[in-house]
Each structure stands twice: as C-alpha cells, then as structure tokens.
Structure 1
Amino acid sequence: MNRLEFMQELEALLSDISQSEKEEALQYYNDYLNDAGVENEEEVLESLGTPERLAKVIKEGLSDNASNGEFTETGYRDHYTQEEKQEVVKAGDKKSLSTGMIVLIIILCILASPLIISIATGVLGAGAGILIGIVGIFFGIAVTGFALFITAIVLVAVGIGSLFSIPLAGICLIGAGLLIGGLSLIFIWLTVWMCGTAIPWVIRTLADLIGKIFHGKGEKA
C-alpha cells in the first residue's frame, strides 16, 4: 500500500469524528510523511501500521483525552504521560510536605519558647551567682590577707619594744608576727592570682556560654 492509498483509507475510516479533528489528523500524518522523505516513506508507513489500526488508536485517544492531547506517530495521546503525571503529583506532595514541616517547626518553636526562656534565665542566674560568689571569695581573701599583714606588723613592733623589758615575750611576739606575716603573704598571693587569672577566666567562660545560648536561640528563630 502506497502513501495515497493509506491516506485515502485513513480519511474514510475517520469519517465518524468531527471535521476539524479529521483534518488535523490527516494534516499531521501528511506532514509526518513529508518530513520523513520519499526514501523513507515505505518504512514510515510500516511503522504506522494499517489504516484500520491507526484510525482505531486515534479514535480511542480522542475519546480518552478530549482536547488535552496531541497527534503523534503512534496516534493521539495526552500531553502528559503516566510517568509525567506521577512526577507532577510527587512534586505537589513534596511541596505540601515541605510547607507542613515548616508550620510544624514554627509551632514547636512557639510551644518550646517558655522552656527556652526558663533555661536561659536559669543559666544567667547560675552564672551571676557563681560570679558573685567568686567575687565574694576574692574580697574575703583580700581582706583576710590585709588584716593578717597589719596584725603581723603590729606583733613585730610590739615584740621589738618588749625585748628590752621582757625579752622572752618580745621574742615570742616577733615569732608570731613573722608567722602571721608569712600567712598573710599567702593570702596576698591568692588575691593577686584571683584578680589576674581566676576572675577573668570565669567572666570569659560565662560570656561565651551566654553567647552560645543566645546565638543558638537566634538561629532557631
């Protein structure tokens, strides 16, 4: 069967569809054969099958897809294949899922905000308490060292004065003064160490901890 006979028979078999659809179908397959060229005409006709089969496929496609499809070399089909439809559905599901997850995260953040604030307040209170406690210890050690140093000076001075009247008592007072002076030097050293090392380290540690808490909270928000 040559091209003319194929197209005439196809036209006759499509006589029961609308005129516009029939003309569109015939125009499509004529153009398809023209694009293939005369040298490939026989091979293309074989790939299309018989006019009866092609007409049947075209009619079934038209009844299934109405105006939502197009003519192809295998008949009339929907614009979207089954796989493409599934991809569209999946994309819609992913979008809905993503929106739902965002809403859920926002709700969880709102519900958890009182707990986060309570924890942050507790940490701040504990940090402030620790800092105040360390500062109190610092001042206690400093005052104790200063008091011991003054006491040592007084004892040594009194002991020296007593050497001429009561030598034994004077020697004891001087010894006690020197002992207390040595103890005062230990307290003075602790005061200098806390002022230069311990207190700055505590302040830096608390600042870093508070910064991490509020930084993490900002990121979550």
Structure 2
Amino acid sequence: MIPEKVLKQYGCIIKEYECGDFIYEEGMKSSSYFQILSGKVKLNNFSEDDREFIQNIFEAPQSFGEVLLFIKETYPTNAIALTNCSIFELPAKNFFTLLKDYPQYSAKINENLSRRLHYKMVMSQHIFSKDPGIRLKALMDYFKHTHCTKDPETGYLIPLTRQQMADLTGLRVETVIRTIKAMEKDHLLKIKNRQIYY
C-alpha cells in the first residue's frame, strides 16, 4: 500500500495493539487512515445474542476503515486485533492531503476498495445458498486473490481457521469442517498439517 516513508512524511504514528484489543468500535466517528505494519485485524459485528459475524480479515500491508473517511460516516463494524499488531494511523486531513499530492496511491486505494466491494457482492450472492460448499468456495476464491501465497506443490494456503471461515460465511463450524473434508475428497482442495491449500 502506501510506503512507510510517505506515511511518516504526512505525520502518521505507529500504534501497538495486543491480540483482542479494539482499534475502533462500531458507532465511533471515523477519523484516521489505518494501515497494518505487522499482524492481522478483523472487522466484525456481534448479534443481539452475542454471536460474532466477521466481515473481513486484513493483514500487513493492507489498510482498513478508509472507506468511511470519504463519506464521513461512523464505523458500522468493530476493528479488533487478531494477533499482536503494529498499525500506522494517519489523521483524515493528512490522509487526503497525501492523496492529493500522490494520486497514484489514490488509484491503489480505489482498486482495493473495488476488490472489497466485489467480495461483498459475491458473498451476498451466495450467503443464502443452502450449499455450504458454494459459500466456502466464494470465500476461498477471494482470499486466494487477496491474501494468499502460493506453494508450488500444494497450492494457495488459506490463512483462516475453521472458526473464522464459519464466522465469515454464517455457517456452523461443524458444517465448515464437514464440508472441507468433502471438498478434499472431491479434490477441490488439499489439507496438510491441518492447513487448507486451495
């Protein structure tokens, strides 16, 4: 994303978060651009019965929360550290000055936002499918293109636990486990040391 030296030039600070810390909470006013230096972050909501629904997962060097800066809305999700994290934080005013001075980063952010919108459209298309394999395949396709590194022998490593896959698709974790085993049997993915390669 935006290089560290450019972010520092516009006054960013680096904040440290421990696993489970809230970076921001649902309903807070958006005021900063966030970019991950190290670690992973999840965006989530909780239902009335405290069930978690994960909207997305981000890792270095991805950014998050910036879409709300453009429309000056409050956050519709929580941002929570999935691991210990170091995160660049740049005030909104400085962020927009940076984009004006470096339009190439504006184009990159538009590309990333478009990819996330595409993911949301694809997932909403399949979220009501009765076939859990269709939901999981859509999720893995997205992560394959945005988060994964390819192993020449085994394919793309999906960086998600079974529980995270359940929370991202609205499925039960037992259903995810059973479906993944069936997909492996059908040669749609490989499992090695409990990790999923797609």
Q: TM-score, normalised by structure 1?
A: 0.20
Larger Cα Rg: Structure 1 or Structure 2? Answer: 1
More strand by share: 2
More helix by share: 1
Q: TM-score, normalised by structure 2?
A: 0.21
